[in-house]
Structure 1
């Protein structure tokens, strides 16, 4: 069995996503946590206790610590963190849904970094554990081995995808939900080292949370533009994205003028307001920006910013239970939407629709893992979908999912 190396998160060049830029040349992996969502422990509590055990102030997020960029060697800088959609569902007691098509990828990962010795003046040092190699049954093949990506195999046909959209509309008509996000999956066999391809993905235009996370026998590449949750100076932010059109002049106008897209978007903004209210000081939830049009790769997308002041004593586990899984990739009401997702989708969401980012002494910044790829020892996996409302057209929803996965698949197949 092949093993993907190195076991580290990095936002190229060779830096954990969201890590303080001034610290990157000194960072050394100190410890890590990896576990499945169906283990004996609650993922939110497990993560909070693990990070607190390394001195990060995550028991009360209203009392942040101070990040010392010039701290001595051995000082904990922070942690790169991944939380899958399945782990998020477990946190809120939702239906587990079908199994992941990439079971080698853990549902919860935290990589704690400490400051090492700074490189000598005038010298640039690569990340100390990065070697860009992949292991084949104990034999190393270097990074210049030819990269080949085979044909894609879909977990459902366009017809089955369209049927799922119709079933979702039926559930909306029955009053079971107001909206639900339906996601499909495709995979392809590969040969060679996948890390350069994942690095290209992380550099896609608009990839605010671009990065690569690896472990024994697996890797995740992310090009997400969407903020799942950010905490800075005692205030919490989420920036849902909902609404997509081609990045053309007519596409932008159509997105701005679409009553269906705006209604879908506002529903998710209301859901996010409700999510943040669960952990917020009374009266502090607000919408800072509504339906702003942003560009990701070759698409226009609508984004809003919702924020609140955290209530005293709220810790990391409280925060994750409030915002996970992300509202823009579940639906409303969230628990009912998760039940529909478990029934409609052919395979689990794996590395997609979760959270990836950085937790430091002074801040938290996790992106939602849309536009995200998982690699196991044999295959590359991609997920894409969209929000379904009563006004959704099945054929249009199938086309939208293909438009979202298209740039990801193209860059994976592209030249080194």
Structure 2
């Protein structure tokens, strides 16, 4: 059998890049096979270097809510390129994007642009520490906030146990400053605050988890976080890098009515270019340099190309804010149809969905936190993933990520997806 171009390219890439990729999940290690090298994308489709076409449910891991290569976004980038690619100085566009975001988030009075979600989260934590004068932070298992040292720490199930590094290279002294709790456990959170409340600078959480797969907050969970952090003078940070402008025009906080002190954003606000941001109350944000003593900076922060792409994207979404309900409903119908197919085949499956985000967990129990997510059958997902890929459906090459439906996905796309799903299930039956 002839080798594909993707195979040849991956062989070359492994000699030049660690693991052959620039971000670990792209390597297909958990699902088997080799990654597809993408040549171009348009609408709901991506095309690899071997000429294969796929209906894309990764969407660059979330930013492409309008679909790939949206003409208005492309035109905005073209016009920006003609004026130069980077200035390292203020622009009108960064003011316009900041105003658009602030208008969409009642909790944000001021905002700082950065270049990634990771940078937004690490900067928000530094700001919280500077604002409160405290050092410890609290996060939840399975919530990913980027790869900054403190945020890779996993403390385990016991609140009394000191954290240990979740990755080689993370100093133990940072682990000791990070408390990790089970997501959706108000009991564990109350106990942690009884012990550490006076030492905590911030609590950071994905209001809807998306990095252990989609997991929604249990009733009362976020309300408890808000109430108790306020009582203890702790900064509450919502990481809405995934959910910002994904579930509604604004964030999940707009839907649940809970206002955090700081919000981290990324993905959609960059329209496919590298952008992150964090914002909140004026009192906290004015602690940032040059207004205050907490230092944060970035050469490419507010990059004119990224600002143009983000602004164009949000302008389109703003004009379509009433269409979110239809997008979310179409995603719900897709998930219900997939669930019926697996039910008819008697293959255990749980689908967690929030708006146009969903995850298929091969499990016979509900998935409500990292422990229940990680106990799902990742090997069975890998078989499903490969079957769908062979049939032209591009899903996340990981059992613990979200799938993204965009405004560009057509009824025909969804029908083809369900047909591919039905065919893949037939092949899976024999191997169970």
TM-score of the two chains, using structure 1 as the length reference: 0.27
Q: Which has the higher contact order (CA 8 A, sep 6+)?
A: 1
TM-score of the two chains, using structure 2 as the length reference: 0.26
Structure with greater helix percent: 2
Structure with greater strand percent: 1
